[in-house]
Amino acid sequence: MVATVAILVVPVSLQIISRYTQLIPSYIWTEELSRFLFIWMVMLGAMVGIKEGTHFEVDIWPELSRRANAMLRIISNLFVLIFALVFVYWGIKFVEFGWYQESELAELPMGRPMTQAAMSPGTAALVLFGSFFILIALRVPVAFALGLACLPPLLFELRLSPMVLFNETFKSYNSFILLAVPFFLLTANLMNIGGITDRLVHLSRTMVGNWPGSLAQINVLLSVFFAGISGSSTADAASQSKIFIEAQTKEGYDLSFSIAITAVSAVLAVIIPPSILMIVWGGVLSVSIGALYLAGILPGLLIAGAQMATVHVYAKIYNYPVYPRATLREFFCSAAQSVPALMT
């Protein structure tokens, strides 16, 4: 995956530099090559996710025994295997279909979009949603449950073909706009490695550390900062849960409250720009991403304010600890150290 991202950086950089500057010629093939590499990265990422067990699942059976959990895991993996076999079989046909065709710009082999026949809305809804929720109940990863739910109509409807699934998958990721997603995540990881997260934590402490429920207030404010860097609520929750949940419980915060405030504050990352969800939404529905960004700033800040007010009330009721007020010198020093992160 690291190698894929590293290779992806080259055509994307050439495309961006040639688009906005006159430093290099305008290479028209870089955008198309970037999109194809992104599709490869998505497929490789799906395989890595299966290997490492990182696909998102919905657990609606939390009280099962170890034996029952093992059986449910076997059933879930069996459905994933079925989906993989379908992908292999029809994927080969998809490759054969487009092997002798060429893309418009880079002249690379690719398939043409297929037309999809209409289907009864009621039947489609019943089959699709019914299959999806059954698979979710069996703890099949959501990504595979969505794909498997599409298979019955494609297999049993004579006017359709399972190749539609591959064609639509290809078209969904064949978007230059979606390339922003891995680069946002890459930026967030690089910032974590570089220690910028620690600087933002210190800056947040100098700003709201003297408020009731100091550590929880810092948690929310850091989510606001982090939302403007990563654009991913998952990345936000993953990074801040390691920092704050254990620290809050050690300082006397209730565990459920610590988990809750970390989870709800992470949602700010999909509202405050740059939001990965807004990029996906704008790319799929052809909506202005800039307009979505402008529309998300004020609601995101209002939600953050509401969360901090809630923390204030809880802190007063349960007498959560408060840090000493930071001096202006400490604030300006922290702000100066955090400028690289805040300017991204």
Q: What's the pLDDT tens digit per position in 272-299?
A: 888 888 887 787 777 888 888 888 999 9
Q: What pLDDT is recorded for position 111?
A: 47
Model confidence at 106, in pLDDT bands (50, 70, 90)? low
- Work out the average pLDDT over 216-225: 91
- Work out the average pLDDT over 301-323: 92
pLDDT at 109 over 50: yes
Q: What pLDDT is recorded for position 237?
A: 79
Global pTM value: 0.58
Q: What's the mean pLDDT when you consider all of the chain?
A: 80
pLDDT at 117 over 50: no
Q: What pLDDT is recorded for position 118?
A: 46
Q: What pLDDT is recorded for position 211?
A: 92
pLDDT at 115 over 60: no
Q: What pLDDT is recorded for position 113?
A: 37
pLDDT at 178 over 80: no
Tell me the per-residue pLDDT of 41-60, one tens digit each, with 9 for 90 and over.
888 888 888 888 888 787 77
Q: What pLDDT is recorded for position 1?
A: 64
- Work out the average pLDDT over 168-188: 73
Of 224 and 30, more confident:
224
Distance CA 326, CA 329 (A): 8
Q: Among residues of the chain, what percentage have pLDDT more than 70?
A: 85
Q: Which of 151-155, 236-240, 248-252 has the highest mean predicted lDDT (pLDDT)?
A: 248-252
- Work out the average pLDDT over 198-224: 90
Q: What pLDDT is recorded for position 149?
A: 85
Of 226 and 23, more confident:
226
User: What long-range pairs does 304-311 form, CB within 8 A, spacing at least 24?
Assistant: 304/220, 304/221, 304/223, 304/224, 304/265, 304/268, 304/272, 307/220, 307/261, 307/264, 307/265, 308/208, 308/211, 308/217, 308/220, 308/221, 311/212, 311/213, 311/216, 311/217, 311/220, 311/261
Q: What pLDDT is recorded for position 260?
A: 92
Q: What pLDDT is recorded for position 306?
A: 95
Q: What pLDDT is recorded for position 221?
A: 92
